Amino acid sequence: YGKLNVREVTKVDLIGTWEEIVRTSGLEGATGETVTAVRSLESGGGAGPGFVVTTSSRELRTRRLVLAIGRRGVPRKLGVPGEDLPTVAYSLREPESFQGDRIVVVGGGDSAVEAALALAEQPGNQVRMSYRGEAFRRIKPKNHQRVEEAVSAGGLDILWSTNLVRIEADSITYRNGGPPETLPNDYTFIFA
């Protein structure tokens, strides 16, 4: 079978690629709707004429259906006060729109690391990662290398063994085994 030519792609780049495919192909998408039911229009034992898809706002008929729910369909919440503020997000689409900001990224997987790195590359940002572990255990080797380089260059700070306990409009409060500590903060991204 030979060697596979596998290229690592960041989630930010992947989203850009999919947006370009949608734009150039004419593919119609629907956001802000939740699929609540799928019913086959199959007649008898053969392949039927398709499906009826019921969403939170409408009903659609389609010949083909692809279920691609991903892992981020319903983001995992931290359960801390302030998590519903408009300065808190569970995904990052346009890192370039954040410049000169104090930002905390919560999480320790590839999504959190890639978001923190993309934000740290923007001019004037002060980016910190809050991670409950003592070291990253599940990230790609290339992301590990990029994190080490960003920390060494001073573009990223890691708050190891921490848990957020409160988010406010201009600060976050976390614990690190001792008394709570508060840091000034403009935006919080949660990738738990």
| pLDDT for position 88 | 94
| pLDDT for position 1 | 34
CB 130 within 8 A of CB 104: yes
CB 27 within 8 A of CB 21: yes
The pTM for the full model equals 0.66
Q: What is the mean pLDDT of each run of 10 residues along the chain (192 residues)?
A: 51 80 82 85 66 91 76 75 94 92 96 96 97 92 94 95 96 94 96 90
Burial class (CB in 10 A: 0-12, 13-18, 19+), 147: buried
Burial per residue of 85-115, b for 16 or more beta-carbon CB atoms within 10 angstroms, e otherwise: eebbebebeebeebeebbbbbbbbbbbbbbb
| pLDDT for position 2 | 42
Which run of H or E residues covers position 129?
strand 126-130
